[in-house]
Amino acid sequence: MDELVSIIVPCYNQAKFLEETLQSVMDQTYTNWECIIVNDGSTDNTEAVSLRWCKLDERFKYLSKANGGPSTARNEAIKISKGNFILPLDADDYISKNYLNKLLPELQNNKSLGIISCYTKFFSDDINKATYELKPKGTNWKNLLYVNQLIVTSLYRKECWQEVGGYDEAMKEGFEDWEFWIAVTKRGWNYKVMDSFLFFYRKAKISRQTDAIKHHFENSKTYIFTKHKELYVEDFDNFIKVLLYDIKTHRTETMKIKNSFEYKLGKLMTKPFRAIRNLLLKQE
């Protein structure tokens, strides 16, 4: 069945990569798609690049909005999309030319599937030189509780987005896709991961994801655990095991740091300053 797929490309100051991403869309062997480029308040030349591609092919569409983060950008685009299937694609990544041709039939032929994904190759500058390969596993919400097994660029039914009310716009610091997949699958939808490398993720030294992991991971996990607490209560025994493992890992890493030569040297060098500080505090 030749059904329309809506590809959603949020872009915030990624114009330098946007052309290559849109070219990977243009190269799709499956041709019944629309691509909505969302300018999420960029200050670079995202608009000029986007409009140039819209003139090149009418299947590209352009939407401009004030900056609000990926959740709002995806939601606004999906609201005006016409396809029954949605594919989010970040503005600095690539999809294989056979991505839609291989994945779409899986959803069309299996009504219990809400999401179809694939293996991923990570790269820095050269797409042909992978720095890491990701091979997710699982089929349902239980596999998503503690690790996000699904890449953001996974193909899904638009009705899944409608059922959960879209991406959670309160999650502005990352991991909104993880929460979205949990929200979808806990309603009974399954997912499947094809054992083919069809997605290519640009691993920048500094990116929204690395910042999210470094600064917001614990807060985001707490938010997800709280929002979907009935799932973690149902999986309580595993939840405790994971929690205790995290505590043990954190304690081990802390002890490694405290026992390191660098830490002991730093502590020794700052000892006089701590003594002066304590003396001043006593005099106050």
Look over the chain and give the mean of its residue pLDDT values, rounded to a whole number.
88
53 pLDDT above the threshold of 60:
yes
Residues forming CATH 3.90.550.10 domain(s) in the chain: 5-217
Band (pLDDT 50/70/90 cuts) for residue 212 is very low
Q: Can you tell me the distance from the alpha carbon of 168 to that of 54, in angstroms, rounded to the nearest whole number? A: 29
User: Comparing 252 with 128, which gets the higher pLDDT?
Assistant: 128
User: Is the CATH code 3.40.190.10 the one for domain 5-217?
Assistant: no
Using one digit for the tens of pLDDT, what is the confidence trace for 84-141?
A: 999 999 999 999 999 999 999 999 999 999 999 999 999 988 888 889 999 999 999 9
Cα distances (angstroms) measured from residue 35 to each of 24, 114, 266: 11, 20, 54
Angle (CA) 55-61-66 rounded to 5° is: 120
Q: What is the pLDDT of residue 267?
A: 56
Q: Can you tell me the distance from the alpha carbon of 157 to that of 181, in angstroms, rounded to the nearest whole number? A: 12
Q: What is the pLDDT of residue 213?
A: 47
Cβ distance 93 to 104 under 8 Å?
no
Block residue for tokens 């999650």: 171
Q: What is the pLDDT of residue 7?
A: 98
Using one digit for the tens of pLDDT, what is the confidence trace for 134-169?
A: 999 999 999 999 999 999 999 999 999 999 999 999
| Element housing 57 (H / E) | none
Q: Residue 70: name the closest of 221, 217, 176 by CA.
A: 176
Band (pLDDT 50/70/90 cuts) for residue 272 is low
Of the ranges 7-16, 22-31, 124-133, 274-283, which one carries the lowest mean pLDDT score? 274-283
Q: What is the pLDDT of residue 173?
A: 85
The answer to whether the predicted template modeling score (pTM) of the entire model surpasses 0.95 is: no
User: Comparing 259 with 19, which gets the higher pLDDT?
Assistant: 19
Sign (positive or negative) of CA dihedral 117, 122, 124, 128 = negative
- Write out the two tokens for 172: 């502005």
Q: What is the pLDDT of residue 259?
A: 63
Mean pLDDT of 11-24: 96
Band (pLDDT 50/70/90 cuts) for residue 245 is low
